[in-house]
């Protein structure tokens, strides 16, 4: 609880008007790589289903072979609740000459936004370890051997060995995206329309994706990356722990989600005994992914 002693500087004249109590924020990041949705129950469930592979040859008069479609396992996601409160005495508010002590709504709103960003970024940090987030095949988001429900084939969406963010690395991601398979192990058409990287890679990204000629070479050959990924969206990840990982994704087919169970809710009350105003904000949401196919990543140390 904030009392007069905590904010005693605000009871005297002479402080400058600029308290530096807030700063400009970047545009929301998590909404650029997680699909937004809501849930109306305590959990959300998902599965996948695949049809048949190929027709079977048969001779004259032979019976048709009948096969059932394949149903994948059920996966369940459960949201988490987050909350924070703020309390301030009436005397502190009354004696504040600058009207700065009681900014509960602004500070709590900022805390909620930062919770969204860091909790979402945890999915990116966990993409190569799988300590927290696992997909429908029981594997991490980026893996060298994703399993399929109707094929013994495995599929990689992770550059191995890892390559740092570079022309070579981005080419490796594009090649991975070209070789994605469905649950039967058959090739599927994929799009790659967003690249995710760290702030310290922005200038390098401009060189890789913006040059008409291939950067870092002396023979002036065409920049194939720009031609293949001409309109790719750049997403800078500022809330991750990793400073080396990067991803190429299809935002349309993306199956990683930010699911809201309870939107950010602000509430306040007054404590009769202590003459303190109390404010709180709560929210419930779930960050999860089911299918990994929209993602390809690399994490060079």
DSSP conformation letters of 118-137: HHHHHHHHTTTT-SS---TT
Separation of alpha carbons 126 and 240, rounded Å: 10
Q: Is 298 exposed, middle or buried (0-12, 13-18, 19+ CB in 10 A)?
A: buried
Q: Is 179 exposed, middle or buried (0-12, 13-18, 19+ CB in 10 A)?
A: middle
The pLDDT assigned to 12 comes to 66
**87: which strand partners?**
278
The pLDDT assigned to 105 comes to 83
The dihedrals phi and psi of 249, each to the nearest 5 degrees, come to -135, 165
Topology of the domain covering 29-46+71-299: phage-related protein like fold (3.90.1690)
The predicted model scores a pTM of 0.90
The pLDDT assigned to 1 comes to 64
Compute the half-sphere exposure of residue 106: CA atoms within 13 Å on the CB side of its CA: 9
Q: Name the residue ranges covered by the structural domains of the chain.
A: 29-46+71-299
- Give the 3-state secondary structure of 19-30: CCCCCCCCCCCH
Of residues 5, 151, 137, the one with CA closest to residue 72: 137
Query: pLDDT tens, position by position, for the chain (301 residues)?
Result: 665 567 676 666 777 777 777 788 899 999 999 999 999 998 999 999 999 999 999 999 999 999 999 999 999 999 999 999 988 888 888 888 777 777 878 889 999 999 999 999 999 999 999 999 999 999 999 999 999 999 999 999 999 999 999 999 999 999 999 999 999 999 999 999 999 999 999 999 998 988 876 777 666 677 788 888 878 999 999 999 999 999 999 999 999 999 999 999 999 999 889 888 899 999 999 999 999 999 999 999 7
């Amino acid at each position: 609880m904030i009392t007069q002693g905590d904010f005693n500087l605000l009871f005297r004249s002479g402080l400058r008007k600029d308290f530096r109590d807030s700063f400009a924020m970047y545009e929301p990041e998590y909404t650029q790589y997680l699909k937004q949705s809501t849930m109306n129950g305590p959990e959300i469930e998902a599965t996948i289903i695949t049809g048949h592979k190929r027709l079977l040859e048969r001779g004259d008069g032979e019976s048709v072979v009948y096969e059932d479609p394949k149903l994948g396992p059920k996966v369940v996601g459960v949201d988490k609740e987050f909350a924070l409160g703020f309390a301030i005495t009436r005397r502190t508010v009354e004696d504040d000459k600058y009207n700065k002590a009681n900014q509960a709504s602004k500070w709590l709103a900022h805390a909620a936004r930062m919770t969204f960003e860091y909790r979402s970024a945890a999915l990116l940090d966990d993409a190569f370890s799988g300590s927290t987030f696992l997909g429908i095949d029981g594997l991490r988001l980026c893996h060298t051997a994703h399993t399929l429900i109707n094929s013994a084939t495995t599929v990689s969406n992770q550059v191995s060995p890892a390559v740092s963010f570079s022309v070579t690395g981005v080419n490796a991601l594009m090649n991975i995206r070209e070789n994605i398979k469905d649950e039967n192990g058959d090739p599927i058409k994929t799009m790659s329309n967003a690249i995710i990287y760290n702030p310290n890679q922005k200038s390098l990204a401009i060189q890789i994706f913006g040059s008409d000629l291939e950067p870092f070479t002396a023979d002036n050959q065409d920049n194939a990356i720009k031609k293949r990924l001409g309109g790719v969206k750049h997403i800078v990840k500022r809330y991750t722990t990793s400073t080396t990982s990067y991803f190429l994704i299809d935002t349309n087919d993306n199956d990683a989600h930010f699911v809201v169970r309870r939107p950010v809710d602000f509430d306040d009350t007054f404590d009769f005994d202590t003459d303190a105003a109390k404010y709180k904000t709560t929210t419930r949401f779930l960050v999860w992914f089911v299918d990994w196919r929209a993602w390809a990543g690399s994490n060079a140390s």
